[in-house]
Amino acid sequence: MDVRFPFENSGEMQFGTIYRPVAKASFQSPTTKKWVDIWMIVDTGADYTILPRFFADKLRVSFERDCVKDTTSGVGGITSVYFLKYKLLVRIGSFERNVPLAFFDNNEVPALLGRIGFLETFDTEFLKRRAVVFND
């Protein structure tokens, strides 16, 4: 069974209305085993899944104990990131995956659902009716 999410209307821009493909993913805290729901941009240009810094606190992840610091670059330039040393259990609809994950060193960038270990494990469709669909 597929999982479908409508695009998010992000408002008017110079070239018209911007619709972003988004999905609700639930991440399981490695320490509390509680689930944290996160609305994320489905980003085929993102190599990996990456979350703003404040989600590390919500998931009870310690940058010092659980992560390795590195840098990444993108549209916004070069920034520090923290790669989790282990994979995290993530759920989209009824699908579950153990996903490699990183955290930005700030809260200025949105949560990005990336390719490695996540999008590449689905048949993902971007429909002209402004929806994103995940098939197993």
pLDDT, tens digit, 9 for 90 and up, residues 68-106: 999 887 666 778 899 999 999 999 999 999 999 999 999
| Sheet containing 123-127: order of strands | 3-6, 131-135, 123-127
Round to whole Å and give the CA distance between 120 and 103. 20
Give the largest Cα separation in the chain, rounded.
45
pTM over 0.95: no
Single-letter residue type at 45: G
CA-to-CA distance for 2 and 48, rounded, in angstroms?
Answer: 22
Query: CA 102, CA 109: separation in Å to the nearest integer?
Result: 13
pLDDT tens across 23-75, in order? 999 999 999 999 999 999 999 999 999 999 999 999 999 999 999 999 887 66
pLDDT at 59: 97
Q: Return all residues near 42 (Cβ < 8 A) that are at least 6 apart.
A: 5, 21, 22, 23, 113, 119, 124, 126, 132
Q: Name residue 44's amino acid.
A: T
Q: Domain 3-135 falls in which CATH fold?
A: Cathepsin D, subunit A; domain 1 (2.40.70)
Record the tokens describing residue 105, joined without a space. Answer: 């060193």
